[in-house]
Amino acid sequence: MACKRPAPDGGDAFLTGASPCCKKPRPLFTSIFNYEYLHKLGAGSYGVVYKAHDRRTGETVAVKWVRPRRGLAHGQPADLAAFARERDCLAACRGYPSIVQLRDVAANPSNWDVFIVMEFVGANSLRDFIAGCPFSEGETPVLMRRLLAGVRAMHRAGMAHRDIKPGNILGPAFTLKICDFGMATTVPPPYEPYMVGTLYYNSPEQLTEDGLNGQYDGKAVDMWVAGCVMAELLTGDKRMTAEAALEHRWFTEEADSPAVLSCLAAITS
């Protein structure tokens, strides 16, 4: 029988590196604790997300099911390290409307499975809304103010997301919320000695030798990506291809379009 632990401390017993007391077959996600399975929403870098029903409140929620199985990070499974980061960062950002809200945390002692329960804000991401169809110069500042409010809230809480991108911004258009905090951190640099984030949205300093050794400012990276998202909203295309990023062509590409500059002026006015 799985035991439930309240957020934000849930799962701490499974982050010590000790083996579970017994091994049992992993369950299918049909229901867990107080949450009844509805359907799968998608899979991320280290977990699978399901839409579920909270039997106690009637609320529809999103449950990230983390099933640790990969290599160790700081003496514990890497997926559990990501789980701990996401749990702690979501807890630090409670009450901010531009960030998906934490509802609960639970853990299963028989197999190391851990669960993050969040508010459900829709199955679509900003990536789905863009989908080759740019937003107007009037719409984009509205979205960007919402996004930047979330970024500001994270930074005030002492954390950097490090993987902001359209696919990690959820919800109906104009009520967007930042999600997926598996790469977020509350510690200052230097960071892990390897690349984090998504290549299309990595900042110039992240792909330098120092950056690949963790020597960069995570909060500055978040602001760089916010600019990339703004350009993508206006053009419908990624600001930089992976090949161009690897070739360090940020400073040799043509200047931003008038629409991008106009939107930036509207946001800052």
Rounded distance between C-alpha atoms, residue 207 and residue 229, angstroms: 19
Q: What is the DSSP string of the chain?
A: --EEE-TTTTTGGGSS-PPPSS--PPPPSSEETTEEEEEEEEE-SS-EEEEEEETTT--EEEEEEE---S-EETTEEHHHHHHHHHHHHHHHTTT-TTBPPEEEEEE-TTT--EEEEEE---S-BHHHHHTT-PPPTTHHHHHHHHHHHHHHHHHHTT-B-S---GGGEESSTTS-EE---TT-BSSPSS--SS--S-GGG--GGGGSHHHHTT-S-HHHHHHHHHHHHHHHHHHSS-SS-HHHHHTT-TTTSPPPPHHHHHHHHHHH-
Q: Binding residue per annotation — 24?
A: no
Nearest to 87 by CA among 25, 171, 19, 15: 15
User: Among the options 79, 88, 163, 180, which is catalytic?
Assistant: 163
Say whether 163 is catalytic.
yes
> Binding site: residue ranges?
64
Residues recognised as catalytic: 163
